[in-house]
Amino acid sequence: MLRKIPAFLNRLIGRDNGATMRLPEPVIIPRDQHPISRKQISRAALNVLYGLHDAGFEAFLVGGCLRDLLTGIQPKDFDVVTNATPEEVERTFRRARIIGRRFRLVHVRFGPEVIEVATFRALGEADESDDDRRHSHGGQILRDNVYGSIEEDALRRDFTVNALYYNIADFALYDFAGSMDDIKARRLRLMGDPATRYREDPVRMIRAVRFAAKLGFDIDPATEAPLYELAPLMGQVPPARLFDEMLKLFLSGQAQDTLKLLQEYGLFDALFPATAEVMTESDQRLLEAAMRNTDRRLAQDKPVTPAFLFAVLLWPALRARQALHLDNGMPPAVALNKAAGQVIAEQVSQIAIPRRFSSVVREIWDLQPRLPRRHGNRAGQLVTHPRFRAAYDFLLLREEAGEIAPGVGQWWTDYQEADEDTREDMVRALGKTAPSSGGEGSGRKRRRRRRRGGGGSGGAG
Ligand code: ATP
Ligand code: MG
């Protein structure tokens, strides 16, 4: 029975969406044969599950939370599915609110926690995004009823490891697709025929990478094989959908592995075409250093701003574009500004970067050529710039990657730690060397705080 799922998924998700559907029967794993205990489930999620159950509805936990619990990871959130309609869910709880338009979900609040409750979803709609379309790829309207049975809900899910259900009625797990085996084997397998499922929703390709990196799971060969060829389909995903997925990708705590996998499958090229086209070895080192840095910060519970990530990911494209303008005789600052506008405008047609982030990206870039110019009262002003810290971190990465010679970064490290008098000394010590005009620092050996002048030419790089 279970072996047949891929075949009939194909049939269902293909043209004939209806009459003769055969649905998988779950393997039911009773409470005494699996390790998930109610103690591991959040209070709010239990309240929602019991609330629905007491009101006479079916209620299950589903997806990532079960996968994580079985893998020994603390789930970020607990998702609930039910046969109650959104209206019925809303009526069942005091603090519930329907969200979404086409496929409506209910947010139920208990204290600080919000539990997302979805009604079992029917098969037949290809598009996962929350818009008002109800069309297949051919454009014909599929069906009006978006709600279905638990079997249909299971078939719609992406990976088998995300298609496990926990029934609050008897605490049993419902496994429709060999999910338990795959979780145990740490194996990512798409539900159904992989190529079909990727075509249906290319975002599943980057989800494969995200889960592989985050969980350390292997991508099953049949699920992996189509990635190489289908990666360009990423270009067709509505940009609005990609920003959130992008953040989840790079903020999973495993950004280094994520980058590697994205590049291996050609997904990086599809997501960041302008950067991919011009990547040099030092760019590659910059991106890797940035991912390492991001993972380290997350491990230390330090904040990571999406703007910083995009500043890094688009930097190679920016530099290449700026170089073109410089070749055409544009002054550096003008060239930078123009290139920044162009690179961001092109990227947002791929991934919708909200303006509140893209403006910060531009500030980080804009500060790069300014950081080496520390004369007079410039250093004192720069250090109070709201983006100074991000720009300084960025400069350190560029030095680490060997894009620019080290020196300026260390100077700023010292400057930030120094008291007022020392700071003045540091700036005075710069006096003997001319301010850098090229914006790339002097490329000289690191200058120590107390060193004065140092006789040589004032050679800015
Ligand atoms: P995480 O813990 O990283 O959030 P998750 O599995 O909960 O992982 P979500 O993006 O929150 O991932 O999605 C919740 C569930 O919805 C998934 O477990 C999966 O069953 C289903 N799902 C999400 N996106 C898709 C998709 N593009 N196609 C099919 N099913 C999906
Ligand atoms: Mg989730």
pLDDT in tens, 304-327: 999 999 999 999 999 999 999 999
Can you give the pLDDT at residue 8?
A: 47
Reference 359, options 390, 395, 380, 396; nearest CA is 390
402-424 average pLDDT score: 95
162 C-beta closer than 6 A to ligand 1: yes
Closest atom, ligand 1, to C-alpha of 245: 10
Please tell me which residue, 131 or 266, carries the higher pLDDT value. 266
Give the pTM.
Answer: 0.84
- pLDDT above 90: residue 137: no
Provide the mean pLDDT of the chain. Answer: 87
Most ligand 1 atoms within 8 A of CB, residue of 130, 152, 157 to mutate: 157
- Given pLDDT bands bounded at 50, 70 and 90, which one contains residue 433? low
Which helix (H) or strand (E) segment holds residue 326: the answer is helix 306-327
- From the CA of 316, how far away is ligand 1's center (Å)? 32
Task: Name the DSSP class of 174.
Answer: E
Q: What is the mean pLDDT of residues 191-200?
A: 96
Whether the predicted pLDDT of 74 surpasses 70: yes
- CA distances in angstroms from 182 to 4, 32, 217, 219, listed in the order given: 16, 20, 9, 10
Question: Quick one: which of 360, 375, 356 has its CA closest to 415?
Answer: 375
Describe the crossing of helices 281-299 and 388-400 by its angle, rounded to 10 degrees. Answer: 130
Q: Which helix (H) or strand (E) holds 184?
A: helix 179-184
Cβ neighbors of 226 (< 8 A, separation 6 or more) are 194, 195, 198
Calculate how far, in angstroms, residue 64's C-alpha sits from the geometric centre of ligand 2.
Answer: 6
Lowest-pLDDT range, 69-73, 210-214, 363-367, 449-453?
449-453
CA–centroid distance, 203 to ligand 1, in Å, is: 11
Ligand 1 midpoint to CA 35 (Å): 22
Distance CA 216, CA 190 (A): 16
Whole-number pLDDT of residue 224: 98
Q: Count the alpha carbons within 13 Å of 312 in the hemisphere toward its beta carbon.
A: 29
179 ligand 1 Cβ < 6 A: no
pLDDT at 18 over 70: no
**Ligand 1 site, residue 128, Cβ cutoff 6 A:** yes
Beta-strand pair 105-110/96-99? antiparallel
Nearest CA to ligand 1 atom 11: 64
> Does pLDDT of 139 surpass 80?
no
For the cut 60, the answer to whether the pLDDT of residue 4 exceeds it is no
Q: Is any atom of ligand 1 closer than 6 Å to the C-beta of 164?
A: no
Verify whether ligand 1 is closer than 6 Å to residue 158 (CB atom).
yes
| Alpha carbon of 162 to ligand 1 centroid (Å) | 7
- Tell which atom from ligand 1 comes closest to the C-alpha of 75: 2
Cα dihedral value 333, 334, 340, 346, nearest 10: -160
Per-residue pLDDT tens over the stretch 90-100: 999 999 999 98
pLDDT for 81 equals 98
Q: How far is the CA of 366 from the centre of ligand 2 (A)?
A: 36
Say if residue 10's pLDDT is above 90.
Answer: no
157 lines ligand 1 (CB under 6 A): yes
Residue 438: pLDDT over 80: no
Cα 328 from Cα 264, distance rounded (Å): 35
Q: Are strands 113-119 and 79-82 parallel, antiparallel or unpaired?
A: parallel
- Over residues 163-192, the pLDDT tens digits come to 999 999 999 999 999 999 999 999 999 999
Closest residue CA from atom 21 of ligand 1: 157
| C-alpha of residue 434 to centroid of ligand 2, in Å | 54
State if residue 76 touches ligand 1 by the CB under 6 angstroms criterion: yes
Which-ligand-closest: CA of 200?
Answer: 1
Hey, which of 77, 158, 241 would you mutate to test ligand 1's pocket, going by the most ligand atoms within 8 Å of its Cβ? 158
Question: Average pLDDT in the 425-449 region?
Answer: 58
407 in Cβ contact with 440 (< 8 Å): no
Task: Name the closest-CA residue to atom 8, ligand 1.
Answer: 64
Scan for tokens 């870039």, then name that residue. 365
The residue nearest atom 7 of ligand 1, judged by CA position, is: 64
User: Best of 162, 196, 209 to mutate for ligand 1, by most ligand atoms within 8 A of CB?
Assistant: 162
pLDDT confidence of residue 146: 82
Instruction: Tell me, using a 6 A CB cutoff, whether residue 201 lines ligand 1.
Output: yes
pLDDT at 100: 85
Integer Cα distance of 423 and 362 in angstroms: 28
* Spatial distance between the Cα atoms of 87 and 84, rounded to a whole number of angstroms: 8
Ligand 1 in reach of 192 Cβ (< 6 A): no
Closest ligand to the CA of 202: 1
Q: Which residue, judged by its Cα, is nearest atom 6 of ligand 1?
A: 64
Residues labelled as active-site residues = 77, 79, 158
* Average pLDDT rounded to a whole number, residues 20-24: 65
> Ligand 1 in contact with 74 (CB < 6 A)?
no
* Single-letter amino acid code for the residue at 394: F
Residue 381 CA to residue 400 CA, distance in Å, equals 25
**Ligand nearest 118 Cα, by number?**
1
For 351-361, write each residue's pLDDT tens digit: 999 999 999 99
Q: Identify which has the larger pLDDT, 434 or 77.
A: 77
Query: For position 131, what pLDDT does the model report?
Result: 43
In the chain, % of residues over pLDDT 90 = 79
Report the range of poorest mean pLDDT among 125-134, 268-277, 424-433, 446-455: 446-455
Number of Cβ within 10 Å of residue 38's Cβ equals: 13
> How many whole angstroms from 444 Cα to the centroid of ligand 1?
50
Q: Could you say which ligand is closest to the alpha carbon of residue 215?
A: 1
* Residue 333: how many other CB atoms lie within 10 Å: 12
